[in-house]
Homo-oligomer: A and B are copies of this chain.
Amino acid sequence: MTNAVLLVAHGSRREASNDEVRALTERLAQQAQGHFGTIRCGFLELAEPSIPDGIDALIADGAERVVVLPYFLSAGRHVAEDIPGILGDCRSRHPSVQIVTAPYLGQSEEVVPLLLSLAARRTEQTGSRT
């Protein structure tokens, strides 16, 4: 089964923020090293491609299963309602494709050691003197 990933971000009026998401998507694709067929991004609003357009593109690439990765820090309305609603519509349009959702980033337990390592490195850079 060909697995693909859609990184889903909110989208911003600030194009540099959208470009950060696009650059992250490229790094994901580079580091995935064949683990997934294709990795693309999709934006909930304010930027392109939309989530449905991103999923359509992954399916055009040959995806048989799409893992949606919500790039969000909290389980607000977007994660709890808006994205599931959009994915429901996508499933109706593509009944032969499996569309599943991974935990949103802020829900991952691995965020804890990541944050601690960011803080520890900043402390080391600063040294022990004020």
Contact = CB atoms under 8 A, between A and B. Distances in A.
Copies of the chain in the assembly: 2
Interface residues of A, number: 57
Given A74-B12, A105-B111, A105-B115, A1 B128 contact: yes
Contacts of A20: 73-75, 106
A14 B76 contact: yes
B106 A67 contact: no
A105 B118 contact: yes
A interface, by DSSP: helix, strand, loop or mixed?
A: mixed
16 contacts: A17-B76, A20-B73, A21-B74, A24-B112, A24-B115, A31-B116, A35-B116, A64-B130, A69-B118, A71-B115, A72-B73, A98-B130, A105-B111, A108-B114, A108-B118, A114-B114
